[in-house]
Chain A
């Protein structure tokens, strides 16, 4: 039976977050915490694969206690089990330390039930790196399949998966051995409105929470701030573009003026390998 682990994260809703202009840091209190939108698609894909092939879906997150809410959201989507690693020792982790901690948790989950597939969102909307998924794959020596926008086939018995990877000008079809790790694009699916049964299940659900001491073979120096070589030298809010030209006149005149401007700048619209006519 297929066992899928979806790695998820609770993030501040960066669509509405405010920057502190003095310190140039995100004012996390200014935005509600939500399930990283890409991760919702990862969980949904796991749930769909479960429906197609049978099996179970576990979700895993690292975060402070309130992140239980994000796990509950995944149960609403249809996940079966939720694991959370939560410990002061994890705090301040960059992508390297995060992938290490999640790997240790996945190793523990594998002992409960062997893991066939790990699914991550393409990236988080607060860090935008997309590094944690491939990081886990490397540590577990699994093939990392990034930018997946379709899972064509999974064959647990024969141990392979066929997926579409999104490219700039199309997609490629690749076959990988399993277990493997996929990080998915948001186009891979649409997350539907959850059923009442799932809502009730989520409302009652309590995830399994592990501290560092619950994990095995952990090198503490690789955790949290200590295990994070990344230095963020500067964060700033991009300045809003100013200026622009206002076109005057009747609608028809405005259209003509706009057309002329666009024709002058036609190099902006040339498409690589596109229609030559």
Chain B
């Protein structure tokens, strides 16, 4: 005796929860299945939650959600071995309602968010793994779980099972991802006194900073690091494309240890106690790696659909938006009583015409470009550091002389041409 639902959502992350929330709110009988002990227990991100897309799901969420700090400053550090060129922006408009974005700890936040979906009427079952989709006559009609008598049926199954979506893969929606399509990020949550954090990052109470790390943070391998302020912890992490880690034979935790001991980072975390260690894959293949996202009786959302904008470190917001669009498509299909791919493809249309699809397209070549041409990270960032050092070291040489020297240090005429070409190429993939 298997139960049938209107919709089964597999995976309680930002995409799955948003989708379940919207559907439950519309009165749809929706089951949300999570493999972890509770939503968030297995979910990882650096920790930036974007206000706009979250607000689209739950207005004024910041009044009750477990958030860490509203971000008032975003810094970027272009790191060399013993130096860094830093730029950024700090603005008080980000420190007040409606805010721009927040740092969050996913274990807390996702649990709260899923609770809101349950309040709307979604049914949540934890500690249950979905093994496969049940397919009948070319149509997904349910899921097979690892529970005894664990088959469940639904008109639509929404796959929000994360980066390595085995379910979408088993449906043939994508192939096994290549090492240059996924990044591996490792991070630590480091406990520090609240006051110490505020002093070190020049913050007032209830203000936060994010610092994105480029260059030597990942030993010049394509990737980024991050250092975010939470209430009484810091989130410090690094992520690199798997292909880069393999090529340079570096283990992910070695990279994290390296950045923890980097002279530009060490003082921020000094005296802190690591309280959590997390690691997760990030889909960074971009637009070209996106799987098929709609089929007969099935939709794919969030990381499972590779919806990550690596350049802007956005993911959870794209996930939420995709969850909402998926819910919209389901409601349309329900109205038409037609759950075929043709109707559910409404999701894809909405997704691709929104900022999600547009941004995915805009940066479709970026990861691939920077992966193909490592000089941006391992050559130009150190060059930039050296130039700054020369320019601002007062040693009696005139500024003209200094500029000449900097230009000379770029290398031969050929290398100068290459720099110009690379700058143009970078502009082209980012424009």
Contacts and interface: CB of A to CB of B under 8 A. Distances in A.
Nearest to B146: A193
A199 B128 contact: yes
B357 interface: no
A197 B152 contact: no
A235 interface: no
Contact of B125 (A32, A193, A199): A199
A262 to B, nearest CB: 38
B60 interface: no
Contacts of A32: 37
A220 to B, nearest CB: 34
Contacts of A196: 2-3, 128, 145, 147-152
Contacts of B128: 196, 199
B1 interface: yes
Interface size grouping (class) on chain A: 10 to 19
A203 B123 contact: yes
Interface in B157-187: none
Nearest to B150: A196
Contacts of A197: 1, 3, 149
B255 interface: no
A173 interface: no
A204 interface: yes
B133 to A, nearest CB: 16
B186 to A, nearest CB: 21
Interface in B123-161: 123-125, 128, 145-152
Nearest to A69: B38
Contacts of B1: 197
Contacts of B145: 196
Interface in A171-195: 192-195
Contacts of A203: 123-125
B125 A195 contact: no
A195 B125 CA distance: 12
Nearest to B152: A196
Contacts of B124: 203
Interface in B188-203: none
A200 interface: yes
A196 B144 CA distance: 10
A112 to B, nearest CB: 27
A196 B1 CA distance: 10
A252 B21 CA distance: 64
Most buried by B among A32, A192, A199, A204: A199
A195 B123 contact: no
B260 to A, nearest CB: 22
A83 B147 CA distance: 26
Contacts of A204: 123
Most buried by A among B31, B37, B145, B147: B147
Most buried by B among A32, A195, A196, A199: A196
Most buried by A among B3, B31, B125, B146: B125
Contacts of A200: 3, 31, 123, 125
Contacts of B148: 192-196
Contacts of A194: 147-148
Nearest to B147: A196
A32 B31 CA distance: 25
A121 to B, nearest CB: 21
Interface string B28-67: 0001000001000000000000000000000000000000
B37 A199 contact: no
B37 to A, nearest CB: 7
A193 B124 CA distance: 17
Contacts of B3: 196-197, 200
A196 B37 CA distance: 15
Given A200-B3, A200-B125, A203-B123, A195 B147 contact: yes
A68 B288 CA distance: 46
A193 B147 contact: yes
Contacts of B2: 196
A214 B31 CA distance: 34
A265 to B, nearest CB: 39
B130 to A, nearest CB: 11
Contacts of B149: 195-197
Contacts of A193: 146-148
B230 to A, nearest CB: 15
Contacts of B147: 193-196, 199
A143 B128 CA distance: 40
Nearest to B128: A199
A37 to B, nearest CB: 15
A193 B152 CA distance: 17
A196 B152 CA distance: 9
A193 B148 CA distance: 8
Contacts of B152: 196
Contacts of B146: 193
A199 B124 CA distance: 9
A1 to B, nearest CB: 24
A273 B147 CA distance: 46
Nearest to B5: A200
Contacts of B151: 196
B121 to A, nearest CB: 11
Given A192-B148, A193-B147, A200-B123, 4 more contacts: A196-B2, A196-B3, A196-B145, A197-B3
Interface of B: 1-3, 31, 37, 123-125, 128, 145-152
Interface of A: 32, 192-197, 199-200, 203-204
20 contacts: A193-B146, A193-B147, A194-B147, A195-B147, A195-B149, A196-B145, A196-B147, A196-B148, A196-B149, A196-B150, A196-B151, A196-B152, A197-B1, A199-B125, A199-B128, A199-B147, A200-B3, A200-B31, A200-B125, A203-B125
Name the 4 nearest CB pairs between A and B, nearest first: A196-B147, A195-B148, A196-B150, A199-B125
